[in-house]
Structure 1
Amino acid sequence: MHGTGRARAARFAHSARCALMALVTFGAASLADTACADELTGTLKKIHDDGVVVLGVREASIPFSYFDGKSTVGYSQTIALQIVDEIKKTLGMPQLKVREITVTSSNRTPMLLNNQIDLECGSTTHTVERENVAAFSNSFFQYAVRMIVRKGSGITDFQDLAGKPVVTTAGTSDERLLRRLNTDKHLNMRISSARDHSEAFAALKDDKAVAFVMDEPIVYGFKATDPRPDDFVVTGTPLGYEVYACMFRKGDEPFRTLVNGVIARGQTSGDAERLYKQWFTQPIPPRGINLNFSLSEQNRALFAHPNDRALD
């Protein structure tokens, strides 16, 4: 074996020993106590050196990532915490601290790029354009873009919004789709972009807008948790279909492998479907509301064949 091959083999053997030591020492000693810490790169090295993993969480992305009055909970928040558990095992750091920072649709990417957060699993759409600045995990949810309106408004599809005030959330793929529709179809909608989903839904409730255009599960979440859910209806031919994924920094293959491994195992083992039922077809905190949002065939297919492809 020539010199390069021997060196590669030695590095592989050392990495394998590190992985084994991390597994053996989990619960007893951290990776910092071994000779393996210098093997780490990227996000895993940052987390190891800082002694903390920083999660970007959402305040009102029901039922994905939201504050229930006590803590951050939700479908994708659970996935984020499963990833944290895997990080602890990989680093051999069972006491690793977890810090949460609330992010919005507008600031989540800058905060990731500025190393203020390490991972964001909320309701972030994986798009081809966003791949230019960030990396995305295997998708964990597929959905349609639709709108929520007041019942009796006479609005059933997007052409009914011509000349009317419409709200969406700033920094979302939905905003881009809505503005493109407005231009292409010459609808002359008066589009406003709210800071977050809660502010956008409030604009609809306050009659500042006739429709709130957003991801279908998000608007179903607001409808279900509103004190007067029967006042609203979700409608409209889908503007498109998109996927949610966890977001992390580009060029970090070890971290991508770890994150995708957690998501893929959950999906192919049946755990993802059980998690889905917990958050979409059963009562959820804090008020015990049931969204009654059955598992779609698209999500069933996604779970059967995990992948990290954008749909746009």
Structure 2
Amino acid sequence: MKTRMRVLLLGAVALLAAACGSTPDAAPFRLPVENRLPVGATVLNAAPNQRADQSCDPTASLRPGAQPQPGALPAGSTMAKIVAGGALRVGVDQNQFLFGYRNPATGEIEGFDIDLAHEIARDLFGDPAKIELKPIESANRAKALVDNQVDIVVQNFTPTCARRQDVEFSSVYFETDQRVLVTKTSGIHSAADLGGKKVCGIPNSTTLDAVFALPDSQRPTVIGIQNWLDCLTALQQGEVDAASTDLPLLYGLKIQDPNLEVVGGPMAQDFYAVGIQKQNTDLVRFVNGVLDRVRADGTWQRIYNQRLSVMGPSNGPPAPKYKD
């Protein structure tokens, strides 16, 4: 036993001597480089050009008519069919703090968008709880409507002429602009400092257009990541240098990490509307009637104060724009 221990000790000493430089020509030891980006992350080489089609006014929607009351919905209408199904099926996010996120204390999905969806259920059923929340990835919002997986999408959904080829939109219920999120020690102070950096964003989102539109000297490498929590993790781990999207979403990420800050001026303006199946124009008008109510009776402001007060005082809900 003593002989074996002596051999082991001599071996350990030899290894220590080697590590201390007894073989100066040996290459220094390096840990393998590990890519910690989430599964599915990819380098994006072109803008999605969601705003390229300017053939319509994407923020104009169908004018609401006389608003039917719960229990008196027109027979055969989309609204009556939804009520017959027992719940309003809503496509939402569960990873966007402030707008749609899963509260770890309760397990429930909460946020500004979620509260707004409950208001639509209230006017359909007379009961805001008659709702079925279906988390979907941002890139699949239009597909979820086209495939009839959901009745509506309330998920930071920006209306564009390109998207209107497949789905319809309500009037706009939120207006914001786009900025940049970085760590406080990044040395990045605005979008002008992004040249050669890595920036994460959601594939096919409208906000990527503004990133790709930066001059060549300011153009970053764009990393497409499927949801904002993964983007946040990549930023915290140093796998990307910045994130760029709408201001409320960036504030939602910043609140989760005090080492982050929002920098720079507006890069683009953005709007949110409720996505609806294209053929269901009666539901579009109904939802617009709900939105008119929440603007007028103080509900919108109450929800803002509860969910988004961290962003400072609001300018109130955006005025609706109707095309007929």
| Match of residue 164 from structure 2 | 131
Q: Paired residue for 2:293?
A: 265
The code of the aligned residue for 1:74 comes to G
Moved more, 213-222 or 120-129: 120-129
Superimposed CA distance per residue, residues 51-109 of structure 1 (whole angstroms, 9 cap, x where no aligned partner): 332111211112111111321111111110110121114xxxx6995322111111121
| 1:238 corresponds to | 266
CA shift in 2, pair 1:96/1:61, >3 Å: closer
Cα gap change, 1:44 to 1:177, in 2 (>3 Å) = same
1:195 positional shift = 0.6
TM-score normalised by structure 2 residue count: 0.72
Query: What is the SS of the residue equivalent to 1:261?
Result: helix
Q: Pick from 45, 56, 59: which aligns with 2:94? A: 59
Structure 2 residue aligned with 1:71: 108
SS at match of 2:213: helix
Are 2:71 and 1:22 aligned?
yes
Query: Matches of 2:212 and 2:69 in 1, distance apart?
Result: 52
Aligned residues of 1:151 and 1:233 also touching (Cα < 8 A): yes
State the match for 2:277 in structure 1. Answer: 249
CA distance in 2, matches of 1:21, 1:219: 37
> Are positions 1:159 and 2:192 aligned together?
yes
Which of these two proteins has the greater Rg computed from alpha carbons?
2
Further displaced range: 190-199 or 126-135: 126-135
What's the CA shift string for 1:117-163, capped at 9, x where partnerless? 11111211222322222111121211111111011211111121101
Give the distance between the partners of 2:83 and 2:123, measured in 1 at CA.
13
Alignment TM-score, normalising by the size of structure 1:
0.75
Is 1:177 aligned to residue 210 of structure 2?
yes
Gaps of 5+ in 1: 1-15, 24-30, 282-291
Distance 2:199 2:128 in 1: 47
- State the alpha-carbon separation in 2 of the partners of residues 225 and 308 from structure 1: 38
Which residue of structure 2 aligns with residue 295 of structure 1?
313
Consecutive unaligned residues of structure 2, counting only runs of 5 or more, are: 1-65
Contact 2:120 2:128 (8 Å CA) reproduced? no
Report percent identity of matched pairs: 26
Higher relative contact order (CA 8 A, sep 6+): 2
Alignment-derived partner of residue 240 in structure 2: 209
Are 1:307 and 2:321 an aligned pair?
yes
Q: Tell me by how many angstroms 1:194 deviates.
A: 0.5
Q: How has the CA–CA distance of structure 1 residues 96 and 166 changed in structure 2, closer, same or farther, with 3 Å as cutoff?
A: closer
| Partner of residue 277, structure 1 | 305
Letter in 2 for 1:61: Q
Structural RMSD (CA): 2.4
Q: Secondary structure at the match of 1:163?
A: coil
Other-structure match for 1:200: 231
